[in-house]
Chains A and B, each alone.
Chain A
Amino acid sequence: MGITITEAAAQRVQNFLANRGKGIGIRLGVRTSGCSGMAYEMEFVDEIHEDDQVFEARGVKVIIDEKSLVYLDGTEVDYAREGLNEGFKFNNPNASGECGCGESFTV
């Protein structure tokens, strides 16, 4: 298993990193909060921690800590456009339900 990333998402991440001027890759994470229990997080990474797992897909380093990986294993990261809005989308096979706004999920 692991994490996969679509071409559109990979290109976006590379653009963002290039514009930012520094950073190794992106960190995906899960934290317990939000109206459905868990919430996704996405951050730039400047340093890799001990308990991190590093996946490389389409030239992009995706970094996840072990605890979050449990909930995210098998997830595909996509970049999507919805109306005026655009951003990253997680296709997570582990998630069984989402809150109405979609910002948090349950396993």
Chain B
Amino acid sequence: MALLQIAEPGQAQAPHQHRLSAGIDLGTTNSLVATVRSGQAETLPDQQGRHLLPSVVRYLQSGIQVGHEAKQSEVDDPLNTISSAKRLIGRGVDDIKTLGSQLPYHFVDQQSSVPRIKTEAGDISPVEVSAEVLRQLSERAEGTLGGPLEGVVITVPAYFDEAQRQATKDAAKLAGLHVLRLLNEPTAAAVAYGLDKGAEGVHAIYDLGGGTFDISILRLNKGVFEVLATGGDSALGGDDFDRCVAEWIMQQAGLDENVSHGMVKRLMHAACQAKEALTQAEQTEIEVAIDPDNSWQGSLSREQFNTLVNPLVTKSLMACRRTLRDSGVSVDEVQEVVMVGGSTRVPRVREKVGELFNTEPLVDIDPDRVVAVGAAIQADILVGNKPGDEMLLLDVIPLSLGIETMGGLSEKLISRNTTIPVARAQEFTTFKDGQSAIAIHVVQGERELVADCRSLARFELRGIPSMVAGAARIRVTFAVDADGLLSVSAIETSSGVQANIEVKPSYGLTDQEIETMLRDSIAHADEDKQARSLREQQVEAERVIEALQAALAEDGERLLDAAERQQVDVALETLRSVSKEGDQAQIKNQIAELEKSCGFYVERRMNQSIQQAMSGHSVDEFDK
């Protein structure tokens, strides 16, 4: 018979109606899958009892290897073994130029916006690599649960932008999975500890993994986790701890820096073992073979280890302080600190983090699995296994979404930290007479100038009927679904012509750049405001020039003599050059100046149009 799980009172489901779901932590180095069974969220092991699946895929002519098997070939067959898909997913060819130089792969030189890696089995995109990892995990979950998955929740870093989220979702689709929701990793960790059911307040998620460090400050407000700030160090992690210890061994053993590649591997391995042993023990013995006849033996105490890694711990704490400052909350306001990532097992890390936040960090759930566990809890609720009154966790938009308006300014339609799903609309209009199309440029970021934001998509609304400038009513709607994915539509309301787009991966920014985007917006707030008002003034000047030129073309010949025409042209030219110089006050003055000096012409045009309107009618008619 089928194997049964225990349900909550009154919630046992009829046979064949179990809704199976899973939470997936799709990591840079390792991935995990978890599910809720008998009221408990647990990560699922494979046949060999291993919970972690290396996020590595090897592409061979004979087939595809995923996980442990693929990881073993990383050194021997680096070109066909793809291990950093998460760093590449949702990125464009431009990013790869900078990122790619650090990676061993051959990128295919092609015009497509999505980078592809050349392997024995053909050209592969990062989305396909992630899809293989997801497929492997979902097969494990289906094998364990004994049926197909109804849906999954996949976690992504809080700083992932729209394109990276969309690409992650595409990978899931490719793996045949229904994505219930993409969830921010720090939010998932908070959910695992049930912080979403607690009182409203601020929490910090300290995530120290193998190679990266992330700190996120979250605020729980009306059942919604807002990401107040994210920060970290993309080159700080457990590997650095190992390196510290390895260097110490080399010093003690009298080895110089010119050791063989194999020796370095042995040293790192011994260092890692020592680090892990010191999590429990106060002292550990280390033995490393130096050559076939000799080996070095020594012992390392917890205290010595602490001294060695102290600079690294301090580095992470500095990032915490910076991020706290960005978030605008003080240390005292932080209620709970959740520890995520294997390196938070190091007692020194726990101790120092506890000291900084003045609270005992939460460590009860395995820090390697806590994100997957939180995702599984969310998946269980979203798939409908919990009664209706269970609070449904909402997520927020990490960076504001807007469109480019005249002058290269970003007009924000949805501001950051808005809860999703959400839809917002705003009306825009045309700039020129008879303008028949409008280019819609979707951007993401906090900065005022489009040049400082990330470009997400561009599309055009064509077929706008001929109207004078400012008469068309173009309604632009931004809709973000529960996964944080954006679709934009534009409609000219009088004619009904419309166009729309879904944001797809195009090109973007590096990790570091995305992380610093928020910080920049605060640092450059004043500067941005000035830049904005300057651009607005410049747009106004352009509009005046545009209008005047249109008038001149229409009746300049008739209404102005040569001298007058020259006066107008000079004023026009002056405004044009002043506008280029970029002094806001001067442009404003010059616009006023132009209006004054050309006042007679405007008056003449007015009189003329009145005359035209009245010609053929008697004055009496107008009296009535």
Asked whether, in the complex, the Cβ of A87 is within 8 Å of the Cβ of B5, the reply is yes
Asked whether, in the complex, the Cβ of B39 is within 8 Å of the Cβ of A85, the reply is no
Cβ-based interface call for A4 (8 A): no
Cβ-based interface call for A43 (8 A): yes
Asked whether, in the complex, the Cβ of B6 is within 8 Å of the Cβ of A42, the reply is yes
Interface residues in B1-24 by Cβ distance below 8 A to A read: 1-12, 14-16
Asked whether, in the complex, the Cβ of A26 is within 8 Å of the Cβ of B6, the reply is yes
Asked whether, in the complex, the Cβ of A44 is within 8 Å of the Cβ of B7, the reply is yes
Cβ-based interface call for B188 (8 A): no
Cβ contacts A to B, 23 pairs, < 8 Å: A16-B38, A29-B12, A33-B15, A34-B14, A41-B7, A42-B5, A42-B6, A43-B7, A43-B11, A44-B8, A83-B47, A84-B44, A84-B47, A85-B143, A85-B144, A85-B146, A86-B144, A88-B5, A89-B1, A101-B16, A103-B1, A103-B15, A103-B16
**3 closest A-B pairs by CB:** A87-B3, A103-B15, A102-B1
Interface residues in A11-36 by Cβ distance below 8 A to B read: 13, 16, 19-20, 26-27, 29, 31, 33-35
Interface residues in A62-89 by Cβ distance below 8 A to B read: 80, 82-89
Asked whether, in the complex, the Cβ of B4 is within 8 Å of the Cβ of A16, the reply is no
A33-B14, A84-B47 known; A13-B143 Cβ under 8 A: no
Cβ-based interface call for A45 (8 A): yes
Band of interface residues on A:
35 or more
Whole-angstrom CA separation of A13 from B5 in the bound complex? 10
Nearest-neighbor residue (CB-CB) of B5 within chain A: A87
Q: A16-B38, A84-B47 given. 7 additional CB < 8 A pairs?
A: A39-B14, A43-B7, A84-B143, A86-B3, A88-B4, A101-B2, A103-B15
Complex partner residue of A13 from B6, B7, B47, B145, CB under 8 angstroms: B6
Cβ-based interface call for B140 (8 A): yes
Asked whether, in the complex, the Cβ of A43 is within 8 Å of the Cβ of B15, the reply is no
Interfacial residues, chain B to chain A (CB-CB below 8 A): 1-12, 14-16, 37-40, 44-47, 140, 143-146
Nearest-neighbor residue (CB-CB) of B143 within chain A: A84
Nearest-neighbor residue (CB-CB) of A105 within chain B: B1
Cβ-based interface call for A7 (8 A): no
The residues of B that contact A55 with a CB separation of less than 8 Å are: none
Nearest-neighbor residue (CB-CB) of B145 within chain A: A85
Asked whether, in the complex, the Cβ of B15 is within 8 Å of the Cβ of A16, the reply is no
Whole-angstrom CA separation of A104 from B47 in the bound complex? 28
The residues of B that contact A46 with a CB separation of less than 8 Å are: 9
Asked whether, in the complex, the Cβ of B12 is within 8 Å of the Cβ of A103, the reply is no
Shortest Cβ distance from A36 into chain B, in angstroms?
A: 9
How many contacts A-B (CB < 8 Å)? Answer: 92
Whole-angstrom CA separation of A102 from B143 in the bound complex? 16
Whole-angstrom CA separation of A46 from B80 in the bound complex? 55
Asked whether, in the complex, the Cβ of A89 is within 8 Å of the Cβ of B3, the reply is yes
The residues of A that contact B10 with a CB separation of less than 8 Å are: 43
A84-B47, A84-B143, A102-B1 known; A31-B14 Cβ under 8 A: yes
The residues of A that contact B16 with a CB separation of less than 8 Å are: 34-35, 101, 103
Shortest Cβ distance from A32 into chain B, in angstroms?
A: 10
Complex partner residue of B7 from A42, A80, A86, A99, CB under 8 angstroms: A42
Asked whether, in the complex, the Cβ of B14 is within 8 Å of the Cβ of A43, the reply is no
A34-B15, A34-B16 known; A27-B9 Cβ under 8 A: yes
Cβ-based interface call for A52 (8 A): no
Asked whether, in the complex, the Cβ of B9 is within 8 Å of the Cβ of A84, the reply is no
Shortest Cβ distance from B16 into chain A, in angstroms?
A: 6
Whole-angstrom CA separation of A84 from B14 in the bound complex? 23
Nearest-neighbor residue (CB-CB) of B46 within chain A: A84
The residues of B that contact A99 with a CB separation of less than 8 Å are: 15
A34-B14, A85-B145, A104-B15 known; A43-B3 Cβ under 8 A: no
Complex partner residue of B4 from A34, A42, A82, A84, CB under 8 angstroms: A42
Whole-angstrom CA separation of A44 from B6 in the bound complex? 6
Asked whether, in the complex, the Cβ of A102 is within 8 Å of the Cβ of B9, the reply is no
Asked whether, in the complex, the Cβ of B4 is within 8 Å of the Cβ of A90, the reply is yes
Asked whether, in the complex, the Cβ of A43 is within 8 Å of the Cβ of B8, the reply is yes
Shortest Cβ distance from A69 into chain B, in angstroms?
A: 17
Nearest-neighbor residue (CB-CB) of B39 within chain A: A20
The residues of B that contact A87 with a CB separation of less than 8 Å are: 2-5, 37-38
Asked whether, in the complex, the Cβ of B40 is within 8 Å of the Cβ of A19, the reply is yes
Shortest Cβ distance from B245 into chain A, in angstroms?
A: 36
Shortest Cβ distance from A30 into chain B, in angstroms?
A: 11
Complex partner residue of A35 from B15, B144, B146, CB under 8 angstroms: B15
Asked whether, in the complex, the Cβ of A88 is within 8 Å of the Cβ of B3, the reply is yes
The residues of B that contact A19 with a CB separation of less than 8 Å are: 39-40
Whole-angstrom CA separation of A89 from B516 in the bound complex? 54
Asked whether, in the complex, the Cβ of B5 is within 8 Å of the Cβ of A45, the reply is no
Whole-angstrom CA separation of A29 from B44 in the bound complex? 28
The residues of A that contact B46 with a CB separation of less than 8 Å are: 84
Shortest Cβ distance from A2 into chain B, in angstroms?
A: 19
Asked whether, in the complex, the Cβ of A43 is within 8 Å of the Cβ of B1, the reply is no
Complex partner residue of B1 from A29, A33, A98, CB under 8 angstroms: A98
Asked whether, in the complex, the Cβ of A39 is within 8 Å of the Cβ of B146, the reply is no
Nearest-neighbor residue (CB-CB) of B2 within chain A: A102
Whole-angstrom CA separation of A35 from B16 in the bound complex? 9
Q: Which of A27, A45, A47, A80 has the most CB of B within 10 A?
A: A27
Asked whether, in the complex, the Cβ of B3 is within 8 Å of the Cβ of A85, the reply is yes
Shortest Cβ distance from A16 into chain B, in angstroms?
A: 5
Asked whether, in the complex, the Cβ of A84 is within 8 Å of the Cβ of B140, the reply is yes
Nearest-neighbor residue (CB-CB) of B144 within chain A: A84
A34-B14, A39-B14, A80-B3 known; A44-B143 Cβ under 8 A: no
Q: Which of B1, B37, B143, B145 has the most CB of A within 10 A?
A: B1
Asked whether, in the complex, the Cβ of B15 is within 8 Å of the Cβ of A39, the reply is yes
Whole-angstrom CA separation of A41 from B37 in the bound complex? 14
Whole-angstrom CA separation of A80 from B5 in the bound complex? 11
Asked whether, in the complex, the Cβ of A103 is within 8 Å of the Cβ of B2, the reply is yes
Asked whether, in the complex, the Cβ of A16 is within 8 Å of the Cβ of B6, the reply is yes
Shortest Cβ distance from B34 into chain A, in angstroms?
A: 14
Whole-angstrom CA separation of A27 from B3 in the bound complex? 16
Shortest Cβ distance from A96 into chain B, in angstroms?
A: 13
Shortest Cβ distance from A1 into chain B, in angstroms?
A: 20
Whole-angstrom CA separation of A41 from B18 in the bound complex? 12
Nearest-neighbor residue (CB-CB) of A99 within chain B: B15
Shortest Cβ distance from A106 into chain B, in angstroms?
A: 12
Q: Which of B6, B9, B11, B144 has the most CB of A within 10 A?
A: B6
Whole-angstrom CA separation of A89 from B16 in the bound complex? 17
Whole-angstrom CA separation of A42 from B5 in the bound complex? 7
